[in-house]
Amino acid sequence: RQAAFRTDIGSLLEQIGTGKESLSFMKRRIRRLASQWGTAAHRLDGKLRRRWREQKKILVHVGFLTEESGDVFSPKVLKGGPLGEMVQWADILTALYVLGHNLKISVSVKELQGFLGVPPGRGSCPLTGPLPFDLIYTDYHGLQQMKQHMGLSLKKHKCHIRVIDTFGTEPAYNHEEYATLHGYRTNWGYWNLNSRQYMTMFPHTPDNSFMGFVSEELNETEKLSIQRNKVNNMAVVYGKEASMWKVKLSQSFLQILHRYMEIHGTVYYETQRPPEVPAFVKNHGLLPQQELQQLLRKAKLFIGFGFPYEGPAPLEAIANGCIFLQPKFHPHSSLNHEFFRGKPTSREVSSQHPYAEQYIGRPHVMTVDFNNSQEFDSAVREIMRTKVEPYLPYEYTCEGMLERVHAYIQHQDFCVPDIPFPPANVSKMWPGGPSGPFALLPNSTGLGWAPNASAPPSWPPLSALQLQVSEEGQSCVEACQHGGLVCEPAFFRFINNKEALSRLEVQCEGVEAEVNHVFPAFSVVQRECGLQKEPLLFSCAGFSTKYRRLCPCRDFRKGQVALCRDCL
Ligand code: UDP
């Protein structure tokens, strides 16, 4: 069946159910952004020129909201607890619904069992028949619940699963045996999925798929009126929970800021003003999203003190014409910071909001060393002088999210194995000669593969592939970035071969295939070359001081890093 865009969100709201503050929050959000989604649907419909889109049967099982996982978030919705996840799930539900798919929503194990057609009760009752869904979106909690209640059959069906995973999961942590043997074991990883089945909040490591969320969009009139009504000396502090204001240094920086600006906060409190919030701060208490937007429209500065990490609020502030001022970190990661400890990633977080720092940057974002009060002081003064327009990257608009989710649904298929290419026997027959399955063409940024007709179909299309070599100690994430490109894990299977090594004129004394998450790679000193034996370990994120890596890079659309030029 053809999927048809939907613009009336009524029946989505009905499907979401009631009885939890988290669900009410999500519904309020869906209602508030409904017209924005509608406009985006029309635009994307036009852009895709009514191309055939298959309607999928989709189950969304929000594990962290189930009683069985303890549902620690719902009671905190009105108390300053984390809302980012709920923002994202609300937007995922809306995107899937607006794209016209056949949606079922579950927030309890009972509903999950009902939808999957497994008998209720605990114990592991395998699902016997075929899976009644094309796709299942869930989270780590939900995955665990499915394992418990689908038993063995989960293995068989896991290619249909997508895991919403805020901070991401790197391949080395995802591969059970490898993680266990090499010290990458955590509370979360080791599901042996294809790493692109994990979908993140921001485009962290390209090993995962970037799902994202949306922010409020403004029309030209609104943008103008915001710019006219900006109050140059008004600041809003990022942090809705009093504990976030305890961060070291925040008090002294609030003092400096207070010399220049009127400071507003939206810190939750019950009866008394939280002692962490200085008397000179005008605290509004936790605001409904809509009222927060109004406050941000007036403010010139949105300032973070280091926590929470990587949330939606800075994007909303920038979209409403604020400048976001945040601390630069000596990178925080799972190795040195409590918050990230046990998370299945080694990613180094360079500031409170690396996406804002790296993808948006000045003049909308200023990332400074908060230990240096002079630098801080001059940043505040610069912000008061600088005029900025409200800005929202395309990938965080409704149209951008619909476009991306559409592309994933129509093109990502983890049920067919990624067959290596060229197959081993083919490279033996044509050891890199001109009649081989590829011609390697030099171009401005690196080397482009021109596959011959025998290459299997690929998404992203193989025409986007550009081979690069990393430095020693450099990951493919960085190597590709350096060339103005992005690492594309789907292409590893095309460069994991002797032919690629010989095309690059790498001197190998021997070529071994090994289970190692930095392979394919070579050591210049030892003249050792290694190919990857375990496709689940193809990793953009991996690096090693011993090896230079072969990196499959691709181009990307401006403002939509998840998609290459020819990806739609
Ligand atoms: N938010 C809100 N009222 C407030 C402060 C924040 O509704 O007073 C919303 C905000 O609009 C954002 C969401 O909370 O969409 C999540 O914000 P944050 O960036 O703090 O991320 P979190 O740590 O909650 O995941």
Which residue, chain included where needed, has tokens 């409170």? 352
Q: What is the pLDDT of residue 252?
A: 83
Mutation test of ligand 1: which of 289, 303, 326 has the most ligand atoms closer than 8 Å to its C-beta? 289
DSSP output for 359-412: II-TTTEEEE-TT-HHHHHHHHHHHHH--------GGGSHHHHHHHHHHHHHH-
Q: What are phi and psi of 43, to 5 degrees?
A: -65, -45
Mutation test of ligand 1: which of 200, 240, 286, 305 has the most ligand atoms closer than 8 Å to its C-beta? 240
Question: Which residue's alpha carbon is nearest to atom 3 within ligand 1?
Answer: 287
**Does any ligand 1 atom lie closer than 6 A to the CB of residue 81?**
no
Distance 426 CA to ligand 1 centre (A): 54
- pTM here is 0.95
**Does any ligand 1 atom lie closer than 6 A to the CB of residue 469?**
no
Per this entry, what is the length of the chain?
Answer: 568
The Cα 173–Cα 485 span in angstroms is: 25
Please state the atom number of ligand 1 nearest to the C-alpha of residue 81.
Answer: 24
Instruction: For the beta carbon of residue 287, count every other beta carbon within 10 angstroms.
Output: 15
The Cα 419–Cα 186 span in angstroms is: 29
Distance 562 CA to ligand 1 centre (A): 25
Which residue, chain included where needed, has tokens 């990022």? 238
Exposed / middle / buried, residue 248 (Cβ in 10 Å: 0-12, 13-18, 19+): exposed
The Cα 165–Cα 516 span in angstroms is: 24
Q: What is the pLDDT of residue 417?
A: 80
Please state the atom number of ligand 1 nearest to the C-alpha of residue 288.
Answer: 7
Contact predicate 532/549, CB 8 Å: no
The Cα 501–Cα 522 span in angstroms is: 9
Please state the atom number of ligand 1 nearest to the C-alpha of residue 82.
Answer: 24
ipTM: 0.97
Distance 335 CA to ligand 1 centre (A): 27
Please state the atom number of ligand 1 nearest to the C-alpha of residue 215.
Answer: 15
The CA distances from residue 15 to 138, 357, 423, in Å, are: 17, 38, 47
**Does any ligand 1 atom lie closer than 6 A to the CB of residue 308?**
yes
**Does any ligand 1 atom lie closer than 6 A to the CB of residue 304?**
no
Q: Which two tokens stand for residue 30?
A: 């869906």
Instruction: For the beta carbon of residue 424, count every other beta carbon within 10 angstroms.
Output: 11
The Cα 562–Cα 211 span in angstroms is: 9
**Does any ligand 1 atom lie closer than 6 A to the CB of residue 240?**
yes
**Does any ligand 1 atom lie closer than 6 A to the CB of residue 136?**
no
Question: Which residue's alpha carbon is nearest to atom 11 within ligand 1?
Answer: 289
| β 486-487/548-554 pair status | antiparallel
Give the 3-state secondary structure of residue 109.
helix
The Cα 304–Cα 297 span in angstroms is: 17
Q: What is the pLDDT along the chain (568 residues), one digit of tens a residue?
A: 999 999 999 999 999 999 999 999 999 999 999 999 999 999 999 999 888 999 999 999 999 999 999 999 999 999 988 999 999 999 999 999 999 999 999 999 999 999 998 877 655 667 778 899 999 999 999 999 999 888 778 889 999 999 999 999 999 999 999 999 999 988 887 899 999 999 999 999 999 999 999 999 999 999 999 999 999 999 999 999 998 888 666 678 899 999 999 999 999 999 998 988 999 999 999 999 999 999 999 999 999 999 999 999 999 999 999 999 999 999 999 889 999 998 999 999 999 999 999 999 999 999 999 989 999 999 999 999 999 999 999 999 999 999 999 999 999 999 988 777 765 544 443 334 433 445 454 444 455 555 555 667 789 988 888 889 999 999 999 999 999 999 999 999 988 988 888 878 888 998 999 999 999 999 999 999 999 999 999 999 999 999 999 999 999 999 999 999 999 9
Mutation test of ligand 1: which of 292, 295, 322, 396 has the most ligand atoms closer than 8 Å to its C-beta? 292
Please state the atom number of ligand 1 nearest to the C-alpha of residue 287.
Answer: 8
How many CA within 13 A on the CB side of residue 139?
A: 23
Contact predicate 460/564, CB 8 Å: yes
The Cα 206–Cα 169 span in angstroms is: 10
| β 102-106/135-138 pair status | unpaired
Distance 286 CA to ligand 1 centre (A): 9
Q: What is the pLDDT of residue 149?
A: 85
Distance 312 CA to ligand 1 centre (A): 7
Distance 184 CA to ligand 1 centre (A): 31
Contact predicate 322/236, CB 8 Å: yes
Distance 167 CA to ligand 1 centre (A): 17
Please state the atom number of ligand 1 nearest to the C-alpha of residue 240.
Answer: 5
Please state the atom number of ligand 1 nearest to the C-alpha of residue 311.
Answer: 19
Give the 3-state secondary structure of residue 45.
helix
**Does any ligand 1 atom lie closer than 6 A to the CB of residue 77?**
no
Question: Which residue's alpha carbon is nearest to atom 21 within ligand 1?
Answer: 311
Distance 44 CA to ligand 1 centre (A): 28
Q: Determine the residue type at 446.
A: G
**Does any ligand 1 atom lie closer than 6 A to the CB of residue 267?**
no
Distance 393 CA to ligand 1 centre (A): 19
Question: Which residue's alpha carbon is nearest to atom 12 within ligand 1?
Answer: 313
Exposed / middle / buried, residue 337 (Cβ in 10 Å: 0-12, 13-18, 19+): middle
Q: Is the dihedral of CA 76, 81, 85, 90 positive or negative?
A: positive
Q: Hey, which residues does 265 pair with through a beta bridge?
A: 283
Residue closest to 112 by CA, chosen among 82, 152, 147:
147
Q: What is the pLDDT of residue 445?
A: 46
Distance 8 CA to ligand 1 centre (A): 26
| β 365-368/349-351 pair status | unpaired
| β 548-554/465-469 pair status | antiparallel
Contact predicate 525/567, CB 8 Å: no
Distance 279 CA to ligand 1 centre (A): 23
Please state the atom number of ligand 1 nearest to the C-alpha of residue 293.
Answer: 11
Contacts of 293 (CB under 8 A, 6+ apart): 216, 316, 320
Distance 83 CA to ligand 1 centre (A): 5
Distance 237 CA to ligand 1 centre (A): 12
How many CA within 13 A on the CB side of residue 149?
A: 22
The Cα 93–Cα 95 span in angstroms is: 6
Q: What are phi and psi of 233, to 5 degrees?
A: -115, 35
Residue closest to 306 by CA, chosen among 268, 340, 282:
340
Q: Which two tokens stand for residue 121?
A: 């009760």
Contact predicate 77/22, CB 8 Å: yes
Question: Which residue's alpha carbon is nearest to atom 14 within ligand 1?
Answer: 83
Q: What is the pLDDT of residue 120?
A: 72
The Cα 386–Cα 323 span in angstroms is: 9
Contact predicate 284/249, CB 8 Å: no
**Does any ligand 1 atom lie closer than 6 A to the CB of residue 83?**
yes
**Does any ligand 1 atom lie closer than 6 A to the CB of residue 311?**
yes
Q: Is the dihedral of CA 183, 189, 192, 196 positive or negative?
A: negative
Which residue, chain included where needed, has tokens 């009760």? 121
**Does any ligand 1 atom lie closer than 6 A to the CB of residue 87?**
yes
The Cα 32–Cα 430 span in angstroms is: 60
CA–centroid distance for 279 within its chain: 38
Distance 229 CA to ligand 1 centre (A): 23
Contact predicate 39/214, CB 8 Å: no
How many CA within 13 A on the CB side of residue 418?
A: 25
